[in-house]
Structure 1
Amino acid sequence: MPSGLVALLDDVSVIARAAAASLDDVSAAAAKAGSKAAGVVIDDAAVTPSYVTEFTPDRELPVIARIAKGSLFNKLVILLPAALLLSAFLPGAITPLLMAGGLFLCFEGAEKVIEKLGGEKHGQTLEDQPTDAAAFENERVSGAVRTDLILSAEIMAIALAEVANQGIVQQALILAVVGIAITVAVYGAVGLIVKMDDIGLHLAKKPSALARSTGAFLLRAMPVLLALLATVGTAAMLWVGGGIILHGLEVLGVPGPAGIAHAAQHAVEHATGALGGVLGWLTYAVLSALVGLVLGGIVAFVVHMIGKARGKH
């Protein structure tokens, strides 16, 4: 009997060690896959504050929480099973679907550029004094969740590509870990950004001179940071969307446009020495953004024409 118990405990310990090793493998693969998607994560963090900054302070964190909840739904309920199914049964559809999402990002970015240049606004702002605050909030949250869906699709596709050699259960676990970790990181950062003025105001009332000066700095920096993020967020939509289109064309057998952008990137890298990596990436990002702006502008023009023809704003 004791020997049987010892054997059972040995079996349990072996299973436990195997499970621990499996979890270690999943966490390592998730970290690797998440790092590959870092660029899109940064873009996501830059884009999101523009959907939140026009709310009163008491609604900022609840709105961020709603967007984060929608982001988790996007990643875990929509994109994770869709990615696994497409990867298993219809891998050829992944690239066209990502390109369609990229084109939507280009359209959103181009619309924002048109607004900044004095064109028609799409959607209300608080400057319009909406009569239904709840409807305004719902519209903003829906817009943020739609944009998040495209960025999340790119994140999950990048992560999936990194774990394509794993079993389907491990793929699902890794994608779930990546999705949850990235959502927490992005929306935690967004929460800190939009509450920076409240933190600064709190510190400015402290007796410590260091705390007061830090609070004053945060209060002065807040408008500059939000303006910068709004610009970076618009640029991110364009360069991520344009980059998705360029990469998708390359995958579908049309390498010319991406080849031109890569050639310019490599030329800048070789010509600028130690700064080559940064300036080369910036060159590719700018060219991708130009592609995104042109394509998004075309889509925006068509959408506006259709809207006018149908008598809608």
Structure 2
Amino acid sequence: MKMTPRVVLIGSVAILFTIVLIMVVTPYFTVTREPSEIFRTRSEIEAAGRRIYIANGCVYCHSQSIRAFDWDMGAERIAQAGDYVADHPILLGSQRTGPDLSQEGGEHPDDWHVAHFMNPRSTRPLSIMPRFDYLGPKDIDILTTYAQSLGLKEADDRMARQREWKEKLIAAYEAGPEKNTEFLHAQVPEGWRSIPNPYPTSPAGLARGHKIYQDFCIGCHGPVGDGMGPAQPYIYPPPFNFTILKDRGISGGILYYQIMNGITGSAMPYFKKDLESEKIWEVGNYVAVYFINQSDANAPPRGIDASYEPKAP
């Protein structure tokens, strides 16, 4: 058979027809339409937020489907067909330029999302997401409501936890710096409070900690650790001011735990999926040295030094 234009055209149409049959038509008639255990219908304002999400092309960078081999934000639950029975069109997406959003609801409080939509670099300094401040406060609030619905019933549970802790955090913040610090540290498990930073304070370690701080923390806590970063106007309680901890003997373990696990109800997210263990210790040590004016790095009790560590004095 000669590859004439007619043959190429017929072959191309046949291939396209086959792809549509396999990828679109067959799933439409065979995929279950039974709701999953987390399914619920969306409210009118959540549906309006979904329309804003579609109109602004968010699906081009964010998927809404976690697969078995994914491990990222939202990976607590593998997507099921029954999660999407009310979605038309289904916004699964094919790109992961940004994080997957299938379980975004309740990962952060509302004010974090408002700051993020106003300027993504204020909450994630390395983000390449465009600003959405042109939407205006009303549409940003509606879009936030939609984002907080992603995950449906499980998102509702996470949002209830965010609201519960936000009330407690606001009360602690409004009681003054001393009470606020005491409350926050009391939420750290006792064993963590007495653990020193296991890595020595070295120029290389502090340089790495500085880079991590710039990449993840500076948007909220600011360049001098006083909580006056660009996200601050949108967040309440505001980002923590590290400088009020000067000379109080805060342990590396407290800093590690709060960086690792975040502070639910506040805009402080968890970083245990973004940063390896040593990076958390090093950014904590950077905060301790430059903003708190003390560090317990490599203090007793000590274990066996890591192989690369310089010899202790």
TM interval, short-chain normalised = under 0.3
TM-score normalised according to structure 2 size? 0.24
More helix by share: 1
Larger RCO, structure (CA 8 Å, separation 6 or more): 1
TM-score normalised according to structure 1 size? 0.24
